[in-house]
Structure 1
Amino acid sequence: MGAELLRRFGNSDLQLSPLGLGCWQFSKGSGMVGKFWPVLSDEVIHDIVRISLEGGINWFDTAEVYGGGQSEEMLADALNALGDSAAGAHVATKWWPIMRTSANIPKTIDERLRRLKGWAIDLHQVHQPYSFSSAANEMREMAKLVKQGKIKHVGVSNFSAAKMYEADKALRESGLRLVSNQVKYNLLDRRIEQSGVMEAAKELGVVIIAYSPLEQGILSGKFHKNPELVKQIQGPRKWAGGFKTGGLKRTLPLITRLDELAVKYEASASQVALNWLIHAHGETVFAIPGASKPHHAQENVKAMRFVLSKDEISELAAISAACGRA
């Protein structure tokens, strides 16, 4: 993928691929949320990172809470093992705010940098809107880290429109801007279009980073074609309503159309769903599909190789509104 397909990342000077790689899966089964995914070997993690980079994905999203820093370390090890071929890769991580105050942000930054083993933090995000401090105070602490050169840009995650405005206003006081808001967004969950989050992002020039872009794999269509696969899902996600018989029946019209477009573009339903995400709102939305197997990384890369037409984007939006969480 050529540099011409890179995009300016909102209010920053970063030039990033429309898809990044979500690295929650690199948690090694550790910590509070690490058990959500099977434990991946170092070799598999290295292959996933290598394939992503070779295919033009140039940024990786991790977090303090993913395995208590294990994901950050595994990502750093994989990038460092690649040597010169990882040059130009960018790393985003997140501070966990629950049961903490903003004073914890500077206290934990050195641990983030230690775990990342020499990789700069191009984007540091507040992972949730819930802490003992205001968003404004969190942003003031983040701004200090930018001034100290410990991080480059500031983002948030799961913030409402109102909190986005509050965060951006506080950063402006330090001559900075809010760069991103990482939220759940996909063809089956478009609530941010109704909640004001998408509108605020466009008004502020803030990037939306879409996590769970395939609705835990439902948009791949594999569970519609073989419902028995639901029984094989590891972790709590198998209990989500979308995997139940009624949920799969409700979303079948969307899967059918994704499959038809996949034939046209010599792609997969997953790739069409990701392509819709990164083109439906101009260059506002970036997405971070994960990968727990090397072939998932290859799938992600191919999703950036074509562009749906405006009519197809509109048609998918209309179908999804009828069967998704609008």
Structure 2
Amino acid sequence: MYMTKQAKVVLGAWAWGDNNSYFGNNYDQAHFQEVYDEAIKNGLNFWDTAVAYGNSASETLLGNLMKNTLREELVISTKFTPQMADNSENPIESMFNGSLKRLNTDYIDYYWIHNDADVEKWTPLIIPLLKSGKIKHVGVSNHTLTEIKRVQEILGEAGFKLDAVQNHLSLLDRTSEQAGILDYCKENDITFFAYMVLEQGALTGKYNVDNPFPAGSVRAHVYNNKLPQLTDLINTLHEIGQRHDLSTAQTAMAWALAKGALPIIGVTKVKQVDDAAGVAQSHLTTEEIETLEEVADKAGVNTIGSWEQDMREDK
């Protein structure tokens, strides 16, 4: 029972198990139980995690919460991160088996190669798992268009196809769109998953020059000095959102939906789940989309992470 065609948003667990190091939170399982229950109540069943999130704590938390839900009613996405590979014969299979155990499942709906460390090395190693049927859909994250096409070739030679691409896409980082990756995905029946749509909270309206990110967190280091430049964009998101009965955060999500992307919305609070559920039926006008992009461009804020690349440089 796969609901990818119907899904409008994916719930992200990047901040789960964070222990204050990146996002500035330290929530326990009881806290996430409420978040998970709210999601299921709202019909949101698509979850994205990774071994790299919280050093596997995210997978463990999600796996514990999944125990009382029928597995076929969930869509689960997790990842192989090359930088965390062990020295076994097939590090992808080794990491994959660890994910299965933590997530209390015997298959993964979407399995990703987390970044483009070595396309020629890692892509062939995922093929045995595809042949086993333990992976239902295969994807790549943080790959350029050239690399995506090469992955397609390698998988095609083995009788498989690339199902999904997961890259950074927001009003502040449109390089995947500008590099032609979104168009390529549409032309080749590849689902484009957009992460950091809300820029880790910077586009929610919650944070501003008077209410910055929690001191000491990585988010504070990355975004706090950019908040003055984001004031006009936040105000524009708010103004356009009011026309559609959407919050500032929901309007940023609605923009990603309008681009044809499947947005991954990080959720650590019940309110964030409700926001994600409420945005699925939204429709911004072409003029509103253009206005948001113009204001975002004027902000001149670069949010490409240290682990990422400007996808336009591949052209």
TM-score, with structure 2 as normaliser: 0.86
Distance in 1 of aligned mates of 2:5 and 2:177: 25
Q: Deviations over 1:22-67 (max 9, x none)?
A: 11122253xxxx8213221212211112212222322100111112
3-state secondary structure, aligned to 1:27: coil
Of 105, 130, 155, 2:139 maps to 155
Per the TM alignment, residue 233 of structure 1 is displaced from its structure 2 partner at its CA by 4.7
Q: Which residue of 1 aligns with 2:221?
A: 239
Of 290, 294, 313, 1:314 maps to 290
Q: Which residue of 2 aligns with 1:15?
A: 5
Per the TM alignment, residue 251 of structure 1 is displaced from its structure 2 partner at its CA by 2.4
Q: Deviations over 1:186-242 (max 9, x none)?
A: 111112223343343334332221111111211112323xx23215355111112x4
- Say whether 1:135 aligns with 2:119: yes
Taking structure 1 as reference, are residues 151 and 210 closer, same or farther at Cα in structure 2, changes over 3 Å only?
A: same
Q: Deviations over 1:157-187 (max 9, x none)?
A: 1111111001111111122111122111111
Distance in 2 of aligned mates of 1:231 and 1:161: 33
Question: In the TM superposition, what are the counterparts of 1:57-68 in structure 2 within 5 Å?
Answer: 57-68=44-55
Q: Which residue of 1 aligns with 2:242?
A: 263
Distance in 2 of aligned mates of 1:252 and 1:149: 48
- Say whether 1:44 aligns with 2:48: no
Q: Which residue of 2 aligns with 1:254?
A: 233
What are the ranges of 5 or more consecutive residues in structure 1 without an aligned counterpart? 1-5, 8-13
3-state secondary structure, aligned to 1:24: coil
Taking structure 1 as reference, are residues 165 and 248 closer, same or farther at Cα in structure 2, changes over 3 Å only?
A: same
Q: Give the length in aligned residue pairs.
A: 299
Question: In the TM superposition, what are the counterparts of 1:99-178 in structure 2 within 5 Å?
Answer: 100=85, 103-118=90-105, 120-130=107-117, 134-178=118-162
Question: Could you say what the CA RMSD is over the residues aligned between the two structures, in angstroms?
Answer: 2.4
Of 21, 24, 41, 1:35 maps to 21
Query: What residue identity is the alignment partner of 1:312?
Result: E
Identity of aligned residues (%): 26
Query: What residue identity is the alignment partner of 1:135?
Result: V
| 2:192 and 2:262 in contact (8 A); partners too | yes
Query: What residue identity is the alignment partner of 1:93?
Result: T
